[in-house]
Amino acid sequence: MFLTLGITLAYGLKIHFTLSFFGVLSGFLLLSVFYFIPKRQFQNRIWFGFAAYISMIGLGIFTYTIHDQKNSSKHYSKVSDLKKGTANAITFKIRERLKPSAYYDKYIIDLIKVDDESVIGKSLLNIKKDTIQNNYNIDDVLLIYSEFKIIPNLLNPNQFNYKAYLEKQYIYHQLVVDEHSILTLRSQQNSLFGYAERFRQKINRKLKTYSFKSDELSIINALLLGQRQDMDQSVYNSYANAGAIHILAVSGLHVGIILFILNVILKPIEHIKHGRTIKITSILLLLWSFAIIAGLSASVTRAVTMFSVVAIAINLKRTTNIYNTLAISVFILLLFKPMFLFDVGFQMSYLAVLSIVSIQPLIYKLWRPKWRITNYFWQILTVTIAAQMGVVPISLYYFHQFPGLFFVSNLAIIPFLGLILGFGIIVIVLALFDILPSAIADTYGTIIGGMNDLVSWVSEQEQFLFRNISFELPQLISCYLLVLAFTLLWKAPNYKRLMFLLISLLLTQGAWFYSTNKNSKNTFVIFHKSRYTMISQQSNSTLRVYDNLDSIATLNDKVITNYDIGHFITSIERDSLQSVYQFQNKTILVIDSLGVYNVKRFQPDYVLLRNSPQINMERLIDSIQPQLIIADGSNYKSYVNRWKATCTKRKLPFHHTGEKGAFILNK
């Protein structure tokens, strides 16, 4: 807990590397002093525990700073020739292939050189899609001539913060290039990740010779190889809406099955000299080889680390405590990957496992079925319910939706998931050796297709999918306190635990009242929406929206949905755009493409320019004398740049929603 506290402090405060180094050194010196002195005096004192906590906080801070390449003098951001708007010759290596967008193929890259200077650091590479596509592989070394672009900030309230998400992976800039402007210097795999990528490609080439459909291949890649980049968005959404997305993430269940298979296959090795040592070494090597092939995602790394500890304990014939095992795996992972702490998959996987081991035995005791098959499905159901109790609060916090039929998809799939995974491993091995019978491939494809159809049917039951649920950090913390208090009271009822539960209930109510009242206010917002104008006025929990969106754009719009979720809106009313808005004591004049305005009757405080009106900005400023000029996303960039230059010349504030984000007035 104190290691994670140190990582969190380092992330929030951006502590310098030198300070963190001397901090952790001082912490461990203090720990040594308070260890040896009481040991000589045969006395236990509180100071050793205190020093241990301080040391772990210092270690967390140091772990974060040492992994952040930005602290190094060789980081690309410290190159003297690196200036905004200036292109450089950039040499880099492909590190990871991401899911492509509608317009770009996306990669995470390791920088090697900027011009002639050797550098380190990571960046996001966006390659514009063209008619001729050349997908690059991991470890390919490429050369481009481009400029480093800052990743855009949030433009609208409650929007997903992509910039903060990338910063948690130590990515601070992006590169945007055309396909024809890329020069390949070297194209060969020479790292573990490169060899793993080549192995995955070989598996896919072999599987594509059979009659697998594209959706079936994408599920096989997700289930067995941990790769979801090529999965169709509709398939992904079906699994998410059905509450079965965890099935597609290589996690504890997958690794546990592999560990069981390896234990059975390698058991004869125990009979030779040093057989037990050879067996455990082989198991660990094979488990981590699988983790590398699966891309070392947060979920698979967590699972393999945890089961590595379990495997060692089993082969040493030691009893294991699941809480200690989880703690060891968290500690080891965060020492090597401190930013895993902020990874959603990492958080959800550990919360799910903690909930299963803590709550599932309590639910299971409520009913003891007599029949073995009934007992098996009852165990699956209790595990599913326990896991959901652990992940629902954090799922609501990040995704704001809850699949009501999660137990249906889980009960239908999880009992057979072990067979599906085992069958899949056999299919891949046989395909690699070119001895996979078509009948077996067709059978496996039918099973995967049936699983997809079932998940699709569950996800289509819209009445059981609860979307757009407002949920903030106070609710998240209070809900987990409530789950903890309820579990403790259920395990061993007593007066103190009852009081803890009642206090948790009060805190949960207080969190809801706080968030609702905090967000129930009067606000006027001019959103940024490319090619459109969108304005809203919030009065407590009611939102009136003025826009010129067509029916299709309205259906696909996420701007108002995000605002609705983030501000606990209960009622939304839509209206057409107006030429004048009044908010509190401020008047906002809207000038559209006609460029017509009449200010004889009133003097507006702000002017909103929309749909690229052809106006004389000098004349407008002289006649209206506004306090501020606003340009939204419906204007041409050339017009916006011209207006901005005029306002700068006249020393008049200018707000472009495409640069500064939505314009917001609060009461």
pLDDT over 70 (residue 69): yes
In a domain, 193, yes or no: no
| pLDDT at residue 37, as a whole number | 74
| pLDDT at residue 527, as a whole number | 96
In a domain, 231, yes or no: yes
| pLDDT at residue 40, as a whole number | 62
Least confident of 139-143, 550-554, 573-577: 550-554
* pLDDT, tens only, 636-663: 999 999 999 999 999 999 999 999 999 9
* pLDDT, tens only, 321-374: 788 888 888 898 899 999 989 988 888 888 888 898 899 999 999 988 888 889
167 & 282 share domain: no
| pLDDT at residue 266, as a whole number | 85
383 & 494 share domain: no
* pLDDT, tens only, 73-116: 899 988 866 776 678 899 999 998 888 888 899 999 999 999 88
Written as one string, the DSSP assignment of 512-527 is: HHHHHHHH-S-EEEE-
Sorting pLDDT into bands at 50, 70 and 90, what band is 578? very high
| pLDDT at residue 543, as a whole number | 93
Q: How far apart are the C-alpha atoms of 156 and 217, rounded to whole Å?
A: 37
Q: How far apart are the first and last CA of the chain?
A: 41
CB atoms within 10 A of CB 372: 7
Q: Are strands 183-186 and 122-128 parallel, antiparallel or unpaired?
A: unpaired
CB atoms within 10 A of CB 534: 26
Q: What percent of the chain shows pLDDT beyond 90? A: 39
Q: How far apart are the C-alpha atoms of 257 and 246, rounded to whole Å?
A: 16
Q: What percent of the chain shows pLDDT beyond 70? A: 95
pLDDT over 80 (residue 135): no
In a domain, 269, yes or no: yes
529 & 644 share domain: yes
Sorting pLDDT into bands at 50, 70 and 90, what band is 265? confident
172 & 310 share domain: no
Matching residue, tokens 């900005």: 617
The count of domains in the chain is 5
47 & 160 share domain: no
In a domain, 229, yes or no: yes
Q: How far apart are the C-alpha atoms of 200 and 220, rounded to whole Å?
A: 11
| pLDDT at residue 133, as a whole number | 65
380 & 233 share domain: yes
| pLDDT at residue 275, as a whole number | 82
pLDDT over 90 (residue 185): no
Sorting pLDDT into bands at 50, 70 and 90, what band is 279? confident
In a domain, 276, yes or no: yes
Written as one string, the DSSP assignment of 318-335 is: ----HHHHHHHHHHHHHH
Sorting pLDDT into bands at 50, 70 and 90, what band is 634? very high
pLDDT over 60 (residue 10): yes
229 & 337 share domain: yes
* pLDDT, tens only, 208-258: 998 888 888 988 888 888 788 878 888 888 888 888 877 777 777 678 777
pLDDT over 90 (residue 550): no
In a domain, 584, yes or no: yes
* Residue where a domain terminates, one of 400, 435, 466: 466
Average pLDDT over residues 108-127: 92
pLDDT over 60 (residue 42): no
Question: In sequence order, which residues have a C-beta less than 8 Å from that of residue 150 and are 6 or more positions away?
Answer: 84, 172, 173, 174
Sorting pLDDT into bands at 50, 70 and 90, what band is 56? very high
Token couple for 65? 């700073």
Q: How far apart are the C-alpha atoms of 486 and 504, rounded to whole Å?
A: 9
CB atoms within 10 A of CB 601: 6
Give the domain CATH number at 132.
2.40.50
pLDDT: which is higher, 126 or 31: 126
| pLDDT at residue 131, as a whole number | 62
pLDDT: which is higher, 288 or 124: 124
* Residue where a domain terminates, one of 188, 215, 237: 188
pLDDT over 70 (residue 189): no
- Which domain does 245 fall in, by range? 198-466
Q: Which amino acid is at 345?
A: G
| pLDDT at residue 3, as a whole number | 94
Average pLDDT over residues 391-411: 87
Q: How far apart are the C-alpha atoms of 173 and 147, rounded to whole Å?
A: 10
The DSSP call for residue 103 is S
Token couple for 551? 């029916």
537 & 512 share domain: no
pTM: 0.86
* pLDDT, tens only, 467-518: 889 999 999 999 999 999 999 999 999 999 999 999 999 999 999 999 888 8
| pLDDT at residue 440, as a whole number | 92
The chain-wide mean pLDDT, for the chain, equals 87
| pLDDT at residue 520, as a whole number | 79
* Residue where a domain terminates, one of 188, 206, 232: 188
Average pLDDT over residues 564-570: 91
* pLDDT, tens only, 593-609: 887 877 666 788 999 99
| pLDDT at residue 43, as a whole number | 62
Residue 139, by phi and psi: left (phi above 0), alpha (psi -120 to 50) or beta?
A: left
Closest-CA residue to 7 (of 57, 55, 52): 57
Least confident of 143-152, 246-255, 396-405: 246-255
pLDDT over 60 (residue 7): yes
332 & 418 share domain: yes
Cβ–Cβ < 8 Å for 661, 154: yes
379 & 240 share domain: yes
45 & 153 share domain: no
| pLDDT at residue 81, as a whole number | 67
pLDDT over 60 (residue 125): yes
In a domain, 363, yes or no: yes
pLDDT over 80 (residue 315): no
In a domain, 484, yes or no: yes
309 & 373 share domain: yes
Cβ–Cβ < 8 Å for 119, 75: yes
